[in-house]
Chain A
Amino acid sequence: MGINTEQLSNILDNFVSSTNDVQGAALVTPDGLALAASLPGGMDEERVSAMSAAMLSLGERIGGELARGGIERIYVEGDQGYGVLTSCGEDAVFLVLASRAVKQGILMLEIKGALGELKSILI
C-alpha cells in the first residue's frame, strides 16, 4: 500500500485553513523533496522543501555535535512571523509558517495534533 498523498494534502489544507494565523505548511522528505504542501501564493514548493531539509539537517547537526541532544523542533522567528520545523518520523519533515500574531502555545498544540495525523498515514 502506498502513501495516500491526497489524504496528506487534505490534512495540510485543513490544518492551514482551520488554525488561526497559520499561513502555510509543507511535508517534505529529509533530502528535500515535497510530499505534500499547502503554501501561500508565490512560494515555490520545491524551494521551500529543499530549505526545510537543509535547516533541519543543520539543526540536528548542532544538536549532536554541540551536545544539545535530539532535536524537537527548529524555530525561526522573524519580525513578520514564524517558521517551525519538526521532524515527522524517519521519513519526513514538517514545516509550518505562521504570522507574528499567532498564539505560540496554540501553534505548538496544533502542530502536535497535525503530526499525529500525518504520522499515522506515513507509517
Chain B
Amino acid sequence: MEIMRLVVTGPVGAGKSTFIRSVSEIEVVDTDRRTTDESAEMKAKTTVAFDFGRLQFTPKMALHLYGTPGQSRFDFMWDILIRKAHAYILLVAAHRPQQFRNARRILSFMNQRAKIPMIIGLTHTDCEDAWEEENIAIALGYIDPNKPPVIVKLNANEPPAVANATIALVQEFIQQSSNAEQVCLVT
C-alpha cells in the first residue's frame, strides 16, 4: 500500500480544516482551540497543531492529508509537516486581498524547505468582491505568463469540489515525478 502525504496550507480562514473534513473518510483528527487573536471575528475556532484526514484514493494508494495552522506563529508546524510531504495545496480566499501577502509568505516558506509539486486552491470565489484568478496569481508572485501555476477553484464545504482539487494535486504530483522520471512514493 502506497501512502501519499498531502499538506493543505494557506492563511487563516482559507478553509483548510473544512477542506480536510470534506474529503476525509475517517473522523478528522483536529486540534481546534477557541480563537482569541485578530481572526476571532472571522471564526470561532482555529487549528493549533494540525488536522489529519485519510482517503483511500485507489485500492493501492491511500492519501494522508495534513492541514497546517494558518497563523505564522505556528510556522514550526509548517516546517514539520512540509518536510515529509509529497505535494501540497495552498488555499487562498479570493475575496480577502489583505491576506495575499500572508499566502505569499507561506509559499516562500514552503518552497525554501521542500521542492515538491504544488497547486493553488481558490476558495470564496463566489463572493462579490472576489479577485480574478490571474490577478491573484500575480499577487502571489507568479509574474511569468509562461509559467502559470496550477489553479483550481473550489468550495471547501462541497466534497465533490474538494475531491476534484485533491485529484488535481495528485495529478500534478504524478506528472512532475514522471517528468523527473523518478517516483519517490514511500510505502
CB within 8 Å of B: which residues of A?
29-33, 46-47, 49-51, 53-55, 57-58, 61, 65
Contacts and interface: CB of A to CB of B under 8 A. Distances in A.
B48 A31 contact: yes
A49 B73 CA distance: 8
B133 to A, nearest CB: 32
Given A53-B48, A54-B49, A57-B49, A31 B33 contact: yes
B74 A54 contact: yes
B146 to A, nearest CB: 39
Given A53-B33, A54-B31, A31 B46 contact: yes
A50 B74 contact: yes
Contacts of A51: 76
A31 B76 contact: no
A30 B37 contact: no
Interface residues of B, number: 17
Given A29-B36, A31-B36, A33-B36, A54 B29 contact: no
A46 B72 CA distance: 10
Interface of B: 29, 31-37, 46, 48-49, 69, 71, 73-74, 76-77
- Which of A30, A47, A65 has most B Cβ within 10 Å? A30
A54 B36 contact: no
B31 A58 contact: yes
Contacts of B34: 30-31
Given A32-B74, A47-B76, A49-B73, A54 B48 contact: yes
Contact of B73 (A32, A55, A58, A61): A32
25 contacts: A29-B36, A30-B33, A30-B48, A31-B35, A31-B46, A31-B48, A32-B33, A32-B48, A32-B71, A33-B36, A33-B37, A47-B73, A50-B48, A50-B69, A50-B71, A50-B74, A53-B49, A54-B31, A54-B48, A54-B74, A54-B76, A54-B77, A57-B31, A58-B31, A65-B29
Given A32-B71, A50-B71, A54-B74, 14 more contacts: A31-B37, A31-B46, A32-B33, A32-B74, A33-B73, A50-B69, A50-B73, A53-B33, A53-B48, A54-B49, A57-B31, A61-B29, A61-B31, A65-B29
